[in-house]
Amino acid sequence: MSDLSLLTVEESRKKLDAKEISSVELTTACLDSIAKQEPDLHAFVTVLSEQALSSAKVADQSIAKGESLPLLGIPISIKDNFLTKGARTTASSKVLDGFIPPFDATVVRKLKEAGAVIIGKNNMDAWAHGSSTETSDYGPTHNPWDLSKLPGGSSGGTAAAVSANEVIGGIGSETAGSIRQPASWCGVIGFKPTYGRVSRYGVVAMEASLDSPGPLSKTVRDSAIMLGVIAGHDVLDATTPDIAVPNYLKDLNSNIKGLRIGLPKEYFMKESQAGINDMVMKSAKQLESLGATLVEVNLMDPKFGIADYTIIQRAGVSSNLSRYDGVRYGNDRTYFGKEAKRRVMLGSYALSSGYYDAYYKRAQQVRMLLKQDFDRIFSQVDLIMSPTAPSTALPIGSTLNEAMFGELSDLLIEGSSLAGLTAVNIPVGLLSGLPVGAQIIGNHFQEQQVLNAAYAYEQKVNWKEIKA
């Protein structure tokens, strides 16, 4: 292959182990791709060229000695809300411009221990506030499929970098759509683990009871590889259960005969962009042809997820951003952008005396009702499938004067995030030249089942040939 940046994680591993290529060659190819595309794409806040090449040389030495690790010598990019020791971490906010963390986030540490070459930090919505990557203090990221369109967010920089083959794989984080929605708009695999399956330690917090790190990749198998690296108990994060991590790649199986997949009528909204519902339904029929059983189900209207998430997320923002006072690190609060200020104000209001019971406490009660509704559905089916987003990628500028842009873009995702469920976005076709994504949602810690269903579809269908 002439352009090594087009390789997948799995292909890279095989070629590196066979010594057909070197990590330095692979990393250089990715750096060249970044240099060529970044002036238009802007998927990175920081590119770690020297550090990456140095890590690649060390990886080549290890490979020469016969060592083999899951990500040894493979260039990976990371959303810029993961702390990276000795490398700038900004969360795409000028408040943290120039901040150099003294330690690595647990996810970053695990990536390094698995041999990954950390090639750079991806652009994102500032503080992860948004679903567009347009609220970044460093300017918006553009969608590789159409540079006049948004990539989604808040992990839009990572999704765009993977889609554009600037990197071999990437790591993002999701609070309520921030992996799945940009994966849908950029045409990549975006995997959201069960809440607690992957450690949040060292991730700039948005809403601590929702934040879930996860992989963005070119294939389902690549997501299985990366998830296997970053998942697991962490003594530094009390929300990570001490349960064994399956070998997701080894157990990946396209045999889904007998699998029951629920299709919630409420998620196939008439308000969605014309063509999306039909395309996702056709992808469900493909799974049915492989032996799955499709079951029409009724879920709580996703509009309740919007209202509930808005209160809970804003309250979390108010609490988490209170630490950025300019005293211990970073710049003072005058550097906060408009979106951060709006969310802090609403969150502070919801938590204030006299309003806590009316808003925040009630929101937590509704959250339990949402979870119970998903529990009811999972007593009937194994998985749930629906569109990931109600539209394809929207034009740059769509977020202006749209305070609820993120919530509306993540309308079909927020409920499952509030319930702490695992899910994946898979591309299922092109609508007017832009990717359409379907999400497969699984019950808590059913990552393998979700991966298997996504893999079965990927093995059967070349989604880029499905056009409408």
pLDDT digits (tens, 9 = 90+) for 163-205: 999 999 999 999 999 999 999 999 999 999 999 999 999 999 9
Query: CA-CA distances (angstroms) from residue 383 to 111, 378, 449?
Result: 29, 7, 8
1, pLDDT greater than 70: no
Q: How big is the chain by its Cα radius of gyration, in Å?
A: 21
What mean pLDDT comes out for the span 255-284?
97
Catalytic annotation present for 218: no
Looking up tokens 């290529």 gives: 21
141 and 43 Cβ atoms separated by less than 8 Å: yes
- The reported pLDDT for the residue numbered 359 is 94
Task: Give residue-wise pLDDT tens across range 276-310.
Answer: 999 999 999 999 999 999 999 999 999 999 999 99
Task: Give residue-wise pLDDT tens across range 103-117.
Answer: 999 999 999 999 999
CATH code of 122's domain = 3.90.1300.10
Parallel, antiparallel or unpaired: strands 434-442 and 422-431: antiparallel
345, pLDDT greater than 60: yes
Number of domains in the chain: 1
Q: What is the CA 111 to chain-centroid distance, rounded?
A: 16
Catalytic annotation present for 254: no
DSSP state of 246: P
Catalytic residue among 92, 154, 155, 409: 154
Tokens of 237: 């994060």
CA atoms in the 13 A half-sphere facing the CB of 323: 11
Tokens of 63: 């490979």
Using 50, 70 and 90 to split pLDDT, how confident is the model at 403?
Answer: confident
Tokens of 50: 């020297």
434 and 466 Cβ atoms separated by less than 8 Å: no
Using 50, 70 and 90 to split pLDDT, how confident is the model at 2?
Answer: low
If you average pLDDT over every residue of the chain, what do you get? 96
56, pLDDT greater than 60: yes
What mean pLDDT comes out for the span 78-105?
97
Evaluate the omega torsion of the peptide bond into residue 379 and state whether it is cis, within 30 degrees of 0: no
271 and 380 Cβ atoms separated by less than 8 Å: no
402, pLDDT greater than 90: no
Catalytic residue among 178, 212, 283, 391: 178
What mean pLDDT comes out for the span 152-163?
98
Catalytic annotation present for 154: yes
Q: Which of 184, 134, 188 minimizes the C-alpha distance to 161?
A: 188
Name the residue range of residue 190's domain. Answer: 4-465
CB-based burial label for 438 (10 Å; 0-12, 13-18, 19+) = buried
Task: Give residue-wise pLDDT tens across range 65-85.
Answer: 999 999 999 999 999 999 999
The amino acid sitting at 25 is E
Task: Give residue-wise pLDDT tens across range 409-461.
Answer: 899 999 999 999 999 999 999 999 999 999 999 999 999 999 999 999 999 99
Catalytic residue among 15, 77, 79, 184: 79
